[in-house]
Amino acid sequence: MELSKKTRYLHIIIAISMICLAGVGLYMSKTEAFALYPIHKSFGVIVFIFALYRVIVRIKEGWPAPVGVAAKFQLMIAKIVHWGLILMTVIYPLSGMMMSGAGGHGIYVFGIELLASNYDSVTGDAIALNPTIASLGHELHEGLVNVLILFVVVHIAGALKHHLIDKDETITRMFTFK
């Protein structure tokens, strides 16, 4: 069965963005490379729009039917990982916006203000608009990194298994752009 154009394009756009944003996010939080923050946040907010659209597409079209036959446990792992990954594409940008927006840093997309920052005029420190939402966002954004990496690794390993061992169409039908 062929996959819809929306499924294939949304997958490639969001997959590349998520991998790059996770890499940049980890780098900037370890090195305090503050110059990268606005870029990470701007792309992150844009990914959120694509991710929500993809959720709508999945609700309308359902999940891709598996290629060929597979053992029950393999289908179950694929299902858990697909659900986990699509959830991550929503939770990550959402938690980022909770942390920055409610934390008083504001939400900007390449300079366009979506939510104003709330900095102390004397000290310049951010004053949280809602500390509970901000810290929940921070905990999710930081705490789910290993889960995100695990899902992505299992997902890629599964895709490679289809391509190299089963030698089926799973990867080619997702990555064909005509």
Binding site for ligand HEM (CB under 6 A): 7, 11, 14-15, 18-19, 21-22, 25-26, 28-29, 37, 40-41, 44-45, 47, 58, 63-64, 66, 82, 85-86, 88-89, 92-93, 96-97, 99-100, 107, 141-142, 145, 152, 155-156, 159, 170-171, 174
By beta-carbon proximity to ligand HEM, the closer residue of 48 and 120 is: 48
* Cα–Cα distance, 96 to 91 (Å, whole number): 8
By C-beta, is 122 or 151 nearer to ligand HEM? 151
Q: Which is nearer to ligand HEM, 39 or 120 (CB)?
A: 39
**How far is CA 2 from each of CA 34, 52, 133, rounded to the nearest angstrom?**
43, 23, 42
Q: How far is the CB of 145 from ligand HEM (least distance, A)?
A: 5
The nearest distance, CB 136 to ligand HEM, in angstroms, is 14
Q: End-to-end distance of the chain based on CA atoms, in angstroms?
A: 16
The neighbouring-strand residues paired with 3 are none
What phi and psi, each to the nearest 5 degrees, are found at residue 136? -65, -45
Beta strand extents in the chain (DSSP E only): 107-109, 112-115
Residue with tokens 């959402």: 94
- What single-letter amino acid sits at 9? Y
We find the least distance from the C-beta atom of residue 10 to ligand HEM, in angstroms, to be: 6
Least distance CB 123 / ligand HEM (angstroms): 19
At 100, list the tokens.
Answer: 């920055």
Nearer to ligand HEM, 34 or 121 (CB): 34
